[in-house]
C-alpha cells in the first residue's frame, strides 16, 4: 500500500514519469495485438496455400484421362503416344504456373506407393544427383501421410507443413483420380517448393517487425503527448485552485450585495404592477384559491371583465365552467405546484388563444398564486386549419401516385415473367434456358460442374397428324409436367422448341445425370395419355473444359439425342467426353 501510494504521488506529480508509464502500457498492448494478428495471418496463409494446392490438384485430376491412366504399368510405355497424350494436360498445367515444381500421379499397390505419370523432363537440372523425372511404377517410399490418406480414402487434402524427399523439400496438395465408373484408381499430386512457402511466411514476419517498430514510435509519441497533457493538467489544477480562492472572495461580496437587494424588493413589486398594466396581451393573476386577484386593461377588453364581477371570485366562475375544462384546471393546479406551462390552445367566445401560466412567489420563495397570459391566434388558427386540409389532400394525391407506381411495377414484373416463360407448358422458354446455361458455365469455371439433358418426344408428328394439334399440345403439357416432377428445385426444365425439352442439373455428374434421364424416360413411358402410349429419347452431356460454351454443350447433347433416335428411340444415350473429332 505504501509503495502504491508513493507511485501514485510520483505519477501524479511528475509528467515525465507519467508519460513513460503510458508509453510502456501502450507499447505492450500494441505488441500483444501484433503477435495475435501475426499468428492469425500465418494460419490464414497456410490455410490459403493448402486450399490453393488442393484446388489445383482437383483441376489436374479433372483433366487426366483416368481410364487411359489405368493402362500404364510398365516403364517401357513412356515412349508410347498414349503416355504422351496422358501427360500433356499435366505438362500444360505445370508450365502455366512457375510456382509449381512437380505434377504427378501415384497409385497404391500392395501397401506401397508408385508413380505413374510425370510430365517433368528427364535429367538433373538442379544438379542434386537425382533424376528430376519419376517413371512408371517407380516406388515412392518417402510418401507423405496426406498422400497415403488421399490414396486410401479418396479425399482431397494437402500437407500441413513442408515434407522432404529425394527431390527436395515441398508442400503438396492431392486430389483423388477416379475412372469413368467412379472407382478410385490413384491420386494427382501438386508440389510447391518450400522456398516459395518460406518466402511468403517471411513477408508476414517482416510485417511483424515493421509493426513492432511502428508500435514503438506510436507508443513513444503517445507517451510524449500524455506527459504534455499531464503537465497541462497540473498547470490547470493550480490555476483552478487560484480561481477557487477568488470565487470565495466573490461569494463574500455577493452576500453583502444580497442584503442590499432586499431593500429594493418593495420597489420591484410596485414596478411589477406598472409593467403588468402595460403588457400588450390580456393578463390576470390569481391566488392560491384560484380567485382572480387582478387583471390588466387588455384582459378587461378581451374577456369583458369588471372589478365588481371578477375580483375575488374563482376563475372558473368568471369565465364559466364550460370554458375551463379539466385540462385547463389541471394546468392551473400545476402552476400552484411550481410547474409553468405555455403554448396551450384555449377557446373562448369563438376566439382562439394561446395560454401560458407561471407561478408567483413571495420573497421567501413560497408560491402564493399565478399569472395567466393569453395571446389571441384566431386568424393563425384558421390559416393552420386550411393548411391541414391542403396537406391531407396532398397526402391523398401522393398515396394515389404511390399506388399507380406499385401497379406499374407489378405490370412490369408480369411482362418480365411472360418474356421468360413458355406460354403453352408454363416452363422456362429458350431465352431463360440460355441465361441459366451461361450462369452454370460461369460457375463451372469456379469448380462446380453441371449436366444437360435434351429430350424429344418420339413420333410426335404422328400425334398431331392423327389427333390434331390440340391433342399434341396436351401431350406437350403432360410430358413437361412429368419431366418437371423428376427434377430437384435447383434444376431447370425448359421447352427448347417444338417437342424438345432441356434440363439443366447443377452439381450433377454425367453418371448421375444418366440415372435421372432413365427415371424421366420411364416416367414418360408410364404416364399414360388420351392419345395413347408416349415415349421420349434422351441425350445427356456434362460440362468439361472441352465443352465450355453454350453452343458446344447443346450440340453435344443434341448429337447424343440424335444417336438415341437412330438406335431405336425410347432410350438414353450419353455424349462423348470431348468434342467430336474431324474425320
Residues labelled as active-site residues:
499
Pick from 163, 204, 207: nearest CA to 53: 163
For residue 305, count other CB atoms closer than 10 A to its CB: 19
Pick from 61, 43, 65: nearest CA to 53: 61
d(CA 134, CA 580): 33
User: CA dist 63 to 60, 82, 154, 409, Å?
Assistant: 5, 15, 17, 48
Determine phi and psi for 544, rounding to 5 degrees. -150, 165
Angle 125-65-85 (CA atoms, 0-180°, nearest 5)? 50
Residue owning grid cell 422458354: 429
Angle 380-381-385 (CA atoms, 0-180°, nearest 5)? 120
3-state helix, strand, coil in the chain (%, to 5): 55, 20, 25
**Can you say how many angstroms the Cα of residue 374 is from the centroid of all Cα atoms in its chain?**
58
Determine phi and psi for 400, rounding to 5 degrees. -65, -40
For residue 87, count other CB atoms closer than 10 A to its CB: 23
- SS3 call for 572: strand
For residue 402, count other CB atoms closer than 10 A to its CB: 10
Supply the angle between the helices 15-63 and 81-96 in degrees, to the nearest 10: 160
SS3 string, 449-499, reads: CEEEEEEEECCHHHHHHHHCHHHHHHHHHHHHHHHHHCCCCCCEEEEEECC
What 355-358 contacts at long range (C-beta under 8 Å, 24+ apart), as own/partner pairs, is 355/328, 355/331, 357/331, 357/332
Give yes or no for a contact between 163 and 169, defined as CB atoms under 8 angstroms apart.
yes
Give yes or no for a contact between 537 and 456, defined as CB atoms under 8 angstroms apart.
yes
Give yes or no for a contact between 114 and 137, defined as CB atoms under 8 angstroms apart.
yes
Query: Among the residues of 137-193, which ranges form H helices?
Result: 145-153
Residue owning grid cell 421468360: 420
d(CA 140, CA 204): 34
Amino acid at each position: 500500500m505504501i509503495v502504491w501510494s508513493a507511485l501514485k504521488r510520483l505519477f501524479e506529480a511528475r509528467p515525465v514519469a507519467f508519460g513513460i508509464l503510458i508509453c510502456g502500457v501502450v507499447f505492450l498492448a500494441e505488441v500483444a495485438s501484433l503477435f495475435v494478428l501475426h499468428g492469425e495471418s500465418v494460419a490464414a496463409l497456410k490455410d490459403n496455400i493448402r486450399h490453393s494446392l488442393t484446388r489445383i490438384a482437383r483441376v489436374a485430376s479433372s483433366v487426366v484421362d483416368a481410364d487411359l491412366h489405368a493402362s500404364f504399368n510398365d516403364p517401357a510405355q513412356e515412349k508410347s503416344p498414349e503416355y504422351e497424350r496422358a501427360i500433356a494436360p499435366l505438362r500444360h498445367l505445370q508450365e502455366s504456373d512457375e510456382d509449381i515444381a512437380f505434377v504427378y500421379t501415384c497409385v497404391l499397390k500392395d501397401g506401397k506407393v508408385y508413380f505413374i505419370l510425370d510430365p517433368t523432363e528427364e535429367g538433373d537440372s538442379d544438379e542434386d544427383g537425382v533424376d528430376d523425372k519419376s517413371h512408371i511404377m517407380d516406388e515412392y517410399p518417402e510418401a507423405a501421410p496426406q498422400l497415403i490418406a488421399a490414396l486410401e480414402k479418396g479425399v482431397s487434402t494437402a500437407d500441413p507443413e513442408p515434407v522432404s524427399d529425394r527431390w527436395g523439400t515441398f508442400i503438396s496438395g492431392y486430389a483423388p483420380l477416379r475412372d469413368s465408373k467412379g472407382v478410385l484408381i490413384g491420386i494427382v499430386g501438386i508440389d510447391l517448393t518450400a522456398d516459395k512457402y518460406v518466402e511468403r511466411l517471411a513477408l508476414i514476419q517482416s510485417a511483424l517487425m515493421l509493426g513492432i517498430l511502428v508500435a514503438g514510435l506510436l507508443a513513444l509519441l503517445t507517451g510524449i503527448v500524455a506527459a504534455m497533457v499531464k503537465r497541462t493538467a497540473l498547470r490547470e489544477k493550480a490555476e483552478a485552485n487560484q480561481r477557487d480562492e477568488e470565487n470565495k472572495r466573490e461569494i463574500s461580496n455577493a452576500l453583502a450585495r444580497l442584503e442590499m437587494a432586499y431593500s429594493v424588493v418593495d420597489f420591484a413589486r410596485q414596478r411589477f404592477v406598472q409593467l403588468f398594466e402595460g403588457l400588450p396581451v390580456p393578463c390576470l393573476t390569481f391566488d392560491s384559491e384560484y380567485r382572480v386577484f387582478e387583471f390588466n386593461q387588455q384582459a378587461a377588453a378581451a374577456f369583458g371583465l369588471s372589478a365588481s364581477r371578477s375580483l375575488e371570485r374563482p376563475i372558473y366562475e368568471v369565465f364559466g365552467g364550460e370554458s375551463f375544462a379539466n385540462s385547463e384546471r389541471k394546468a392551473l393546479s400545476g402552476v400552484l405546484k411550481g410547474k409553468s406551462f405555455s403554448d396551450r390552445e384555449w377557446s373562448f367566445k369563438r376566439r382562439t388563444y394561446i395560454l401560458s401560466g407561471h407561478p408567483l412567489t413571495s420573497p421567501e420563495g413560497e408560491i402564493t398564486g399565478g399569472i395567466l397570459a393569453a395571446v389571441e391566434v384566431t386568424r393563425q388558427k384558421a390559416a393552420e386549419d386550411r393548411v391541414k386540409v391542403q396537406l391531407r389532400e396532398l397526402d391523398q394525391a401522393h398515396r394515389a401516385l404511390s399506388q399507380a407506381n406499385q401497379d406499374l411495377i407489378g405490370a412490369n414484373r408480369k411482362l418480365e415473367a411472360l418474356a421468360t416463360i413458355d406460354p403453352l407448358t408454363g416452363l422456362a422458354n429458350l431465352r431463360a434456358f440460355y441465361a441459366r446455361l451461361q450462369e452454370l458455365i460461369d460457375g463451372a469455371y469456379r469448380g462446380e460442374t453441371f449436366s444437360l439433358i435434351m429430350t424429344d418426344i418420339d413420333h410426335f408428328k404422328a400425334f398431331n397428324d392423327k389427333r390434331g394439334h390440340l391433342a399434341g399440345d396436351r401431350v406437350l403439357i403432360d410430358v413437361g409436367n412429368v419431366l418437371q416432377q423428376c427434377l430437384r428445385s435447383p434444376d431447370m426444365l425448359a421447352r427448347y422448341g417444338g417437342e424438345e425439352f432441356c434440363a439443366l442439373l447443377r452439381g450433377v455428374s454425367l453418371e448421375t445425370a444418366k440415372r435421372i434421364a432413365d427415371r424421366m424416360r420411364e416416367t414418360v413411358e408410364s404416364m399414360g395419355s388420351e392419345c395413347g402410349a408416349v415415349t421420349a429419347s434422351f441425350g445427356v452431356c456434362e460440362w468439361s473444359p472441352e465443352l465450355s460454351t453454350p453452343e458446344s454443350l447443346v450440340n453435344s447433347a443434341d448429337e447424343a439425342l440424335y444417336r438415341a433416335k437412330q438406335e431405336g428411340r425410347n432410350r438414353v444415350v450419353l455424349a462423348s467426353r470431348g468434342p467430336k473429332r474431324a474425320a
